[in-house]
Amino acid sequence: MKIVIGHLFNDLLNLYGDKGNIAALKNRMEQRGIDVEVKTYGINDDINFDELDIVFIGGGSDREQLLVCNRLKEIKSDLTQYVEDNGVLIAVCGGYQLLGHYYQLEDEKIEGLGILDIYTEQKNPRLIGNIILESDIINTTVVGFENHGGRTYINNHTPLGKVVYGNGNNDSKDFEGVVYKNVIATYLHGPLLPKNPILTDYIIKCAILNKDKDFSLCEIDSEYELKAHNYIIERFLK
Catalytic residue list: 93, 189
118 binds ligand GLN, rule: CB under 6 A: no
Residue 4: CB minimum distance to ligand GLN, A: 25
65 binds ligand GLN, rule: CB under 6 A: yes
C-alpha gyration radius of the chain: 17
- Of the two residues 28 and 195, which places its CB atom closer to ligand GLN in the complex? 195
- Of the two residues 3 and 145, which places its CB atom closer to ligand GLN in the complex? 145
CB 111 within 8 A of CB 72: yes
**Stretch of 44-52, 58-66, 199-207, 225-233 contacting ligand GLN, by CB under 6 A:** 58-66
- Of the two residues 186 and 200, which places its CB atom closer to ligand GLN in the complex? 186
Q: Alpha carbon of 69 to those of 38, 43, 76, 117: distances in Å?
A: 23, 10, 10, 17
210 binds ligand GLN, rule: CB under 6 A: no
CB 99 within 8 A of CB 92: no
Site map for ligand GLN, 84-113, x if CB under 6 A?
---------xx--x----------------
Among 20, 23, 26, 62, binds ligand GLN (CB under 6 A): 62
149 binds ligand GLN, rule: CB under 6 A: yes
H helices present in the chain, as ranges:
19-30, 62-84, 94-98, 197-209, 223-237
Task: In whole angstroms, give the CA distance from residue 58 to residue 74.
Answer: 18
Contacts of residue 138, defined as CB under 8 A and 6 or more positions apart, other chains included, come to 198, 199, 202
147 binds ligand GLN, rule: CB under 6 A: yes
Q: Detail the DSSP E strand segments found in the chain.
A: 2-8, 35-41, 54-57, 88-92, 102-104, 109-111, 119-135, 140-153, 161-165, 175-176, 178-180, 183-186
7 binds ligand GLN, rule: CB under 6 A: no
Residue 98: CB minimum distance to ligand GLN, A: 9
Contacting positions for ligand GLN (CB under 6 A): 15, 59-62, 65, 93-94, 97, 147-150
